[in-house]
Chain A
Amino acid sequence: MAYILLRHREIPDIHEIDVYEKHGGFAALKKAVTEMTPEQVTEEVKASGLRGRGGAGFPTGLKWSFMDKNNWPHYVVANADESEPGTFKDREIMERNPFQFLEGVAIASYAVGANRAYIYLRGEFWPIAHFLDEKIAEMEKAGYLGERLFGTDYSLHIYTHLGAGAYICGEETALLESLEGKRGQPRIRPPFPPSYGLYGKPTVVNNVETLTNVPYIIANGAQAYRQFGTEKSPGVKIFSLSGCVNRPGNYELPLGTTFRELIFEHGGGIPEGRNIKAIMPAGASSSFIVATDEALDTPMDYESVPNVGAQLGSASVIVIDDSVSMDWVVEKTIHFFQHESCGKCTPCREGTYWMRKLIERIRHADGTEEEVALLKDVAMQIRGKCLCALGEFSTMAVVSGIERFAPDFEKAVATSSPE
């Protein structure tokens, strides 16, 4: 199968504008702007069944169609905050195939009538931001960005913006606050960005990977895109594979590929002949899937993964083998979420800290069985009460770890002692 997203793996130097042009680059943008109405572009994306690759899997075309047409201007924001532990796909796209991503941003902007688009990158991505700035300048020079594109009335400018290194700024409303120059903390939703977004104006926020699919869909049509993936989860997805595998890395595969295929065929299996124990399909925010045969044969798409007790999310597949005790992983995830909790709402701010104290005691001090139960209780008490999804994410590994891998915690309690 030819690549749709990671095309640089086949076409060296596709990050050079002439190389990108030679391989059909910007044809989709030109087609959209000169031959299609914004509504037609949106309809095509809707028909393709493309769903958001940032985690929530919301249908992209539908999101675009929600833009409030009675409130202007409109904005497009590309979410390049990529901070989920285990996720490293957007980075490869931007570093190696930047024009396809930027073309996607431009087509999305045209579809929703935005004359300005922003790319919000996590602070650590500053070299990528500089690189994209150069690429944007090249596109402007070549007439793919700027005033009156292709001789039409449509104008577009794209700007990059760096965050200061906070996981929460990947959450779309915290991202918008940060972009506005405020503290990066989530807003209450509703209203959602398509009705109240950047500077209070209708805004589409899409993940980098989501947008990078768009040129293909416009160039080849929705049906061509639908030949990949499943009925409800069409298209391709980049799976960021990491953890206890022989060949970690990004794999572009059709949605619906099984865990087994990803981990054992593409990823080369588990090192040193150990056995697979658990899978976290959506990075640190995942519940643990017990790696049974049934689970390994589950197709990785938005509908199937919940059947084995998790979500596909951003498809950052972390593999855990039998050399790892789950209480260790849980300590890592709790640590991460406690550190990244923005502190705006009570249950997440206080609850993650409490969980951290408990897991530390369980693992490194004289923790008790009761404290394991309490840890799960605290996690359950956080659930369903937070202002944004981060608080909810912080409980996933905790609850599923304690429920599905109880012996690991029993052992931790039995063997831990005060340092």
Chain B
Amino acid sequence: MSKTVTLTIDGKQVTVPEGTLIVDAAKKIGVDIPVFCYHPKMQPVGMCRMCLVEVGRPVVDRATGQVVKNEDGTPQIRFAPNLMTACTTPVSEGMVVLTESEKAHDGHRAIIEFLLTSHPLDCPICDKGGECPLQELTMRHGPPQGRFPYEDKIHFEKHFPLGELIYLDRERCILCGRCIRYQAEIVGEPVIGFYQRGRATEIVTYSDPGFDSYFSGNTTDICPVGALTTADFRFGARAWELKAEASICAQCPVGCNIVFNTRREAKSGGRVVIKRVMPRQNEEVNELWICDKGRFVHHYTHSAERLSRPLMRKGETLQPVSWEDALRTAAEKFEAAGKEVLVLASGRLSNEDLFNLKALADGLGGRAVLYGDMGGGDLTTLVGVGQGTNLATLGAGDAILVIASDLQEEAPIWWLRVKQAAERGATLIVANPRATKLDTYASFVIRYANGDEVQTVLNLAKKTDKIGQAFAEAENAVVFFGSEGLGLEGSQRLAVACAHLLRETGHVGKPNNGLIGVWQRANDQGAWELGFEPVADLQAAFEQAGAVYIVGADPFGDGRLTLDGVKERPFLVVQEILPTPTTEVADLVLPAQAYAEREGTYVSGERRVQRFYAALPPYGEARPDFAITAAIGKRLGLDLEDGSAEKVFERLAVTQPAFENLTYARLAEVREQWPIVGRGDLYYGGTAYENRRGLGVQLVPAAQREEPVTLPEVQGEAGPRPEEDEWLGVPVTRLLDRGTTVLLSTLLHRRIGEPFVVVHPMAAERLSLAEGQKARLTVNGASAEVTVRVDETVSAGVVLVPRSMGLPLYEPMKVSLKAL
């Protein structure tokens, strides 16, 4: 334990660790010292001077070293002549702090008055109004009347875009520097900065496109005024009109805790719609942050294209039918197919949906397949990170290996937390076939050729070099494995090799140790827990089936399935929220509710089971996935739960050992977290929401339950290698891809850009291509026009192709690339 210090703040005693700042010590006992520039997640800078307090210290007799006492025996206190900034002054033994004295109040009043001399006070049209620290502190501490003439105010052009996502109002900016420091200190992408000095100072962006960072939206939460607003929410609604409901971001396996702010509005035809997505504090998952995809991708929920009624094929077209007809037809077709039913579901679905789907498939003796092309989930259930894992506690003495994954693109908040662990001293090993942004923070970068994935892990396991030794000797070690350059089988093999490495070095079955899959979808891990697995040859499985039930997946759009050359097509039931190429070829389409319209749970990549709640009313006749499946099941005489998500979860918890003893109530439990945010004082932590609806519970992996863990044998090669005179197309994940939900965001599609490929300079030369040139990429007969980018860290025989570009490239395959 570190030393503690006891002091008195406004007459209340508090004992805190040595080195604590006065402002934080006060916060712990409910004394809210006003702040603007200070933020508990960042280094103090003492710029705004709002937190001025009176500080006294016991008088020490120089000769004796003893504290001088008053007549009544209390220590004599000498107050500093000037007020001091509570955000930069560490506590000391016996200190006396006055935050409400007349002198302190004078200080607060002075700073507010100064700030308001250059503030436009346009609260009535400001998005921050109602949740604005400046407004709040002006009411609390400001002078009753300003003495600065309005006509002397400096005016700037308002609504200055820092990029297309974030707008700056330079008049409102109080130059606290939080946004700049957030980007520099926390994200490590200093793309915005101060320009000019004195009163002419303004925020500018240095990047092209402007404010080029996946974390930019967070600055709008910590900006203490309405200077930074998102293009999404700007002039969208007043803060006090919004309802808040807790949810989980469904865009990647991190599982960030969020809040949906909703409002019923005439503008949207009287419907309740999501106005914005805000972070919800979970210090073990996302702290106070979310990425821009999570923040801005919500528009699809109220897309005009949403499926609202069941549809049945009548000849060439799909015609609306009643639920009764739809469910009956589905049941009849599934019954007829019996063992030949194929359920194809994705990790976009909740555990409850997947549980019922599995029960349906099992009940019929059919097959339940996970949609996707990444393996290894069986291993994360065995040697996944132990219960109690928190990346924020990894640091010096610990090790993290990231392999075959571009973490910032695939799971931004993990990237952030891994980066911070490295900055705290953790040994970070980044192994990839090309450069990624995480390399900057790595202690060791391993660049392997495509195909050497398993060998790379085996080399580490030999402990013959300092990288292997560093990993083996680490007190705690976590491995993030992805699937870049690997198909299903390859990623499975890589996962096996990683599992062995972890076990051989004693890094399993404990908190902060184990394997994490960088999955493609939010609940892939949950699907594996519930017994879903992908298949190698999806097309064959499809063709062999008598009836196919596709839920939450678009294999026809992704090029994973085709009807070309299929002689006898199975009856196809598709359950979806939006029309897709897959619903277009369906025989029966069942409209599902978006997850924001219902309850459920997901399992994050760190195997944390987390609840989400219904933030929106149902859309049209759409129903929750689990309920649709249960309704079909009932018609087949199967006992499936359709009452509520909670009831499904109760069943799930008794049948799945990993979920033993879990209940919705337990998942909703909260503890006090530090820093304390989201209460009456938005100026301290920003507008991120306090977590009141559940921190979730991490599953216990088999290795931690002390069950015998048998790992499969390590198999030789993982991914394919480029052959002589051949180009190997490798799909890579980009955060902002051309996926359905992203394309429907009214904002993000501008960041997606044109389809492109990345090749090595030598490859470009051989193909007579140059950076920026147009080319035609052909895969399996399908082709697309792409822009060429050149990167010398890419292997020479490889063409990197972003996913979801409309090409049937979901795992490494031969491609051809020709100049246009």
Residues of A within 8 A of B (CB): 166, 168, 183, 188, 338-347, 349-354, 357, 374, 381, 384-387
Contacts and interface: CB of A to CB of B under 8 A. Distances in A.
B344 interface: no
Contact of B117 (A340, A350, A386, A387): A350
**Shortest 5 CB-CB distances between A and B: which pairs?**
A350-B114, A384-B82, A343-B198, A343-B201, A188-B46
B396 interface: no
B198 A346 contact: no
A343 B46 contact: no
A342 B82 contact: no
B117 to A, nearest CB: 5
Given A340-B198, A384-B81, A349 B52 contact: no
Contacts of B88: 188
Given A338-B198, A381-B113, A346 B148 contact: no
Contacts of B68: none
B49 A353 contact: no
Nearest to B36: A346
A168 B198 CA distance: 11
Interface string B102-143: 000001001101110110000000000000000000000000
Contacts of B451: none
Contacts of B44: 188
Contacts of A384: 81-83
A387 B49 CA distance: 8
A46 to B, nearest CB: 20
Contacts of B147: 374
Interface in B81-112: 81-83, 85, 88, 107, 110-111
A344 B118 contact: no
A352 B198 CA distance: 9
Contact of B198 (A347, A349, A387): A349
B118 A342 contact: no
A342 B197 contact: yes
A15 to B, nearest CB: 35
B152 interface: yes
Interface size class of B (residues with CB under 8 A): 35 or more
B206 interface: no
B175 interface: yes
Contacts of B47: 344-346, 387
Contacts of A385: 49, 52, 82-83, 107, 110-111
B50 interface: yes
Interface of B: 44-50, 52, 81-83, 85, 88, 107, 110-111, 113-115, 117-118, 147-149, 152, 174-175, 193-194, 196-201
B114 A339 contact: no
B198 A339 contact: yes
Contacts of B196: 343
A346 B49 contact: yes
Contact of B114 (A166, A183, A343, A351): A351
Given A166-B197, A354-B152, 6 more contacts: A340-B198, A344-B175, A345-B46, A345-B47, A349-B199, A381-B114
13 contacts: A166-B197, A339-B198, A345-B47, A347-B110, A347-B114, A349-B114, A353-B118, A353-B198, A381-B114, A384-B83, A385-B107, A387-B46, A387-B49
A353 B199 CA distance: 8
B110 A342 contact: no
Contacts of B45: 188
A351 B113 CA distance: 10
B197 to A, nearest CB: 5
Contacts of A345: 46-49
Nearest to B176: A346
Nearest to B175: A343
A354 B47 CA distance: 19
Contacts of B111: 346-347, 385
B49 A350 contact: no
B52 to A, nearest CB: 6
A298 to B, nearest CB: 25
Nearest to B88: A188
A384 B201 CA distance: 23
A178 to B, nearest CB: 12
Given A345-B47, A381-B110, A353 B82 contact: no
A47 B450 CA distance: 70
Contacts of A343: 175, 194, 196-201
The winner among A345, A357, A387 for most chain B CB atoms within 10 A is A345
B706 to A, nearest CB: 46
The winner among B52, B83, B201 for most chain A CB atoms within 10 A is B201
A203 B364 CA distance: 77
A340 B199 CA distance: 10
